[in-house]
Amino acid sequence: MKKRTIVVGLCLALASGGVPLLAHHAFSAEFDANRPIHLKGRVTKMEWINPHAWIHLAVVAEDGTEVVWMIEGGTPNTLMRRGFTKDSLAPGTQIIVDGYQAKDGSHKGNGRDLTFPDGRKLFLGSSGTGAPTDGSDPTEPPRN
């Protein structure tokens, strides 16, 4: 397994070709590629903490019990620079998370896709600066 982790890391480094140097810890050491998650829930809070923001999400299981999941995000600095504020993701907002669960089986995950129930992406990364309302992309759907 260790060997696999190294291989994946190196592949990513090679795939990135001319990309400037390394960055970040290895997600594969924290999260399990064999445990994909698909969560639909209600935001209870967002922790604006370094080095990584965490979104807390209340998910109701089939038996009616509620489980709070924590979803890892990037540095809050980038969000702030892009105009995202504490009010941009209010508690109570329904979102859907697709990602991978923590290796230790706890209710933590990384969210590779975060979307609203109507299919809009929660964080638009590929459009303009990515700021929610930066207006650089006329096709960008309106926010809440």
Partner 1 sequence: MRSRLQGLSRAAAVALVACLAASAPVGAEGAARTTWGDPDLRGIWDFRTITPLERPSSLAGKEFLSDEEAAVFEEQTLERLDFDRRDGGSRFDVERAYNNFWWDWGDKLTDDKRTSLIVDPPDGRIPAMVPEAKDADRARRRSGGGPVRERVLIGSKAHGPEDLGLSERCLLGFNSGPPMLPSAYNNNLQLFQSPGYVVLLNEMIHAARVIPLDGRSHLDGRIRQWMGDSRGRWEGDTLVVDSTNFTDKTPSFSGVIGAMGSGETLHLIERFTRVSADTLLYEFTIDDPHTFTASWTAAIPMKKTDGPLFEYACHEGNYGMANLLSGARAQEEAAAQSKKP
Residues of this chain that bind partner 1 (CB under 8 A): 1-6, 8-13, 15-34, 36, 47, 49-52, 54, 70, 72-82, 99-100, 102-106, 108, 110-114, 121, 123-126, 130
CA-CA distance, 114 to 95, in Å (whole number)?
7
CB of 142 to partner 1, least distance (A): 17
Nearer to partner 1, 14 or 63 (CB): 14
CB of 12 to partner 1, least distance (A): 6
Nearer to partner 1, 62 or 104 (CB): 104
Nearer to partner 1, 31 or 41 (CB): 31
CB of 63 to partner 1, least distance (A): 25
CB of 37 to partner 1, least distance (A): 11
Print the SS3 string covering the chain.
CHHHHHHHHHHHHHHCCCCCCCCCCCHHHHEEEEEEEEEEEEEEEEECCCCCCEEEEEEECCCCCEEEEEEECCCHHHHHHCCCCHHHHCCCCEEEEEEEEECCCCCEEEEEEEECCCCCECCCCCCCCCCCCCCCCCCCCCCC
Nearer to partner 1, 51 or 60 (CB): 51
